[in-house]
């Protein structure tokens, strides 16, 4: 069997029926109660290990922003990204079995807790979001260095971050390990903003992600990473008094978050060098 998903495809079965057919134990379901993408995903135990299986959701679901073919296309994009880079912080894609809802992406299970919390719970000390922010600054910085390192490598392959926010970050508080997930909407860049207000969390988005016809490129990713630093080592602003990291890290955040793309670091590699100085 090795590390591959060991079961064959069944294009006649829904994901739930498929998992029952292979004898998997479902221990978690991620559906419309946890996110609004239209995807339905599962945490399962099968073949003696844990997996994360992601589907495009029910083809007839009318609620999501994107229709079913568009959601299937994003899964194909996620598979391309996973195939382009192996990194300890990215779960390995182990198979793409077919189901009646389209392909299922079978990833390694990532232990830990999602760092996103709804706005109403974001200040809750018991939330994973606040528990992560309350860690010693050095521990947070190590996790953020992982985020930056993944993006240095992705940008070198031409990928531009889209819709990256704390909902893509899983932190294992026991193993002190960060994993990045749900990078399905990343695109090969540069490209032009055809939407106006793009998908994403305003806490992490660059000004050009709100402007129709603006160029979205690696400098946009730089801004998003700067905002990631500000949300976890600062108070979500660029206030130096609220920042808990080192001076070089503060300078890196400020240099990444300049409103005009031409005034920022021109690559994530430049941001990484400043961050680690």
What pLDDT sits at residue 64?
86
Residues 103 and 125 in one domain: no
Strands 105-108 and 49-55: what pairing? antiparallel
Residues 167 and 201 in one domain: yes
CA 195 to centroid of chain Cα atoms: 21
Q: Any idea what the CATH number is for the domain that residue 47 is in?
A: 3.30.200.20
What pLDDT sits at residue 62?
85
- β-bridge partners, 188: 159
What pLDDT sits at residue 1?
46
> 6 in a domain, yes or no?
no
Q: How far is 226 from 206, CA to CA, in rounded Å?
A: 10
Q: Which of 75, 108, 141 is the last residue of a domain?
A: 108
> 8 in a domain, yes or no?
no
Q: Which of 108, 132, 165 is the last residue of a domain?
A: 108
| Host domain of residue 139 | 113-275
Contact assessment for residue 35 and residue 53, using Cβ atoms and an 8 Å cutoff: no
Q: What is the DSSP letter of 92?
A: P
Q: How many domains does the chain have?
A: 2
Q: Give the residue ranges of the chain where pLDDT is below 50.
A: 1
pTM of the prediction? 0.95
What are the angstrom distances between the C-alpha of 40 and each of 46, 59, 160, 199? 18, 11, 25, 19
Q: Identify each DSSP E strand in the chain by its residue range.
A: 25-30, 40-46, 49-55, 93-95, 98-99, 102-103, 105-108, 113-114, 159-160, 169-172, 177-180, 187-188, 191-192, 215-216
> 9 in a domain, yes or no?
no
Q: Which of 108, 129, 147 is the last residue of a domain?
A: 108
Residues 78 and 125 in one domain: no
Contact assessment for residue 99 and residue 15, using Cβ atoms and an 8 Å cutoff: yes
């Amino acid at each position: 069997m090795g590390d591959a998903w060991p079961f064959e495809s069944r294009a006649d079965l829904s994901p739930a029926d498929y998992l029952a057919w292979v004898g998997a134990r479902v221990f978690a379901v991620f559906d419309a109660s946890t996110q609004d993408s239209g995807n339905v995903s599962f945490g399962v135990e099968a073949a003696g290990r844990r997996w994360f299986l992601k589907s495009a959701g029910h083809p007839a679901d009318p609620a999501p922003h994107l229709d079913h073919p568009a959601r299937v296309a994003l899964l194909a994009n996620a598979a391309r990204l996973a195939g382009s880079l192996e990194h300890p912080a990215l779960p390995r894609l182990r198979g793409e079995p077919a189901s009646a809802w389209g392909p299922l992406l079978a990833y390694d299970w990532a232990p830990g807790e999602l760092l996103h919390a709804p706005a109403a719970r974001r200040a809750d000390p018991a939330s994973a979001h606040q528990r992560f922010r309350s860690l010693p600054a050095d521990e947070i910085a190590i996790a953020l260095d992982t985020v930056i390192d993944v993006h240095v490598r992705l940008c070198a392959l031409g990928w531009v971050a889209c819709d990256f926010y704390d909902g893509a970050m899983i932190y294992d508080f026991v193993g002190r390990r960060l994993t990045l997930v749900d990078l399905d909407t990343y695109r090969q860049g540069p490209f032009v903003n055809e939407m106006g207000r793009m998908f994403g969390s305003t806490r992490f988005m660059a000004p050009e992600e709100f402007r129709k016809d603006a160029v979205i490129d690696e400098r946009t990713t730089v801004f998003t990473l700067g905002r990631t630093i500000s949300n976890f080592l600062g108070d979500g602003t660029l206030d130096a008094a609220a920042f808990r990291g080192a001076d070089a890290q503060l300078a890196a955040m400020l240099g990444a978050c300049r409103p005009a793309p031409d005034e920022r670091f021109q690559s994530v590699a430049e941001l990484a060098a400043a961050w680690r100085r």
